[in-house]
Copies of this chain bind each other. A is one copy, B any other.
Amino acid sequence: MEDIGELAAQLREFAAERDWEQFHTPKNLAMALAGEVGELVAEFQWLTPEQSRTVATDPEASPRIRGELADVFLYLTRLADLLDVDLLQAADDKLQENSKRYTPETYRGSSRKAPPLA
């Protein structure tokens, strides 16, 4: 798998081969994405923040979480493809915007000002 574009193309083919384009409306895919993120969040719900930092080394939880991340990414890629959004470009634009909006000088280490990554 070279890049997101190739993944999107493979998902297009995957849907076409099964005649699933009819189900893949942006509305439905946004719901599917929410469902998968729910499963991902559930993996971390009872962990302390510290435990969540080392979960990647847990032989049981680690492959499960990798699978959930994959599911989220698959639906996100498919949804963005249907909406004609270039994920990398959109993320880059947003990151530039946030870099100016949340200057290190003002937001350094502040939990008060709530650190939105994005």
Interface mask (A82-111 → B, CB under 8 Å = 1, otherwise 0) = 111101111111110011001010011101
A26-B53, A52-B26 given as contacts; is B91 within 8 A of A73 (CB)?
Answer: yes
Contact A40 B30, beta carbon cutoff 8 Å: yes
Contact B32 A42, beta carbon cutoff 8 Å: yes
Contact A4 B88, beta carbon cutoff 8 Å: yes
Contacts of A42 in B (CB 8 A): 31-32, 35, 38
Taking the nearest CB of chain B, how far is it from the CB of A48, in angstroms? 7
Chain A interface main SS type = helix
Contact B23 A33, beta carbon cutoff 8 Å: no
A34-B37, A87-B69 given as contacts; is B75 within 8 A of A117 (CB)?
Answer: yes
Other than A18-B108, A20-B117, give 10 A-B pairs with Cβ distance below 8 A. Answer: A18-B109, A27-B51, A30-B52, A31-B44, A35-B39, A46-B114, A56-B84, A69-B79, A72-B76, A76-B76
A: residues with CB less than 8 A from B are: 1, 3-4, 7, 10-11, 14-15, 17-20, 22-53, 55-56, 65-67, 69-80, 82-85, 87-95, 98-99, 102, 104, 107-109, 111, 114-118
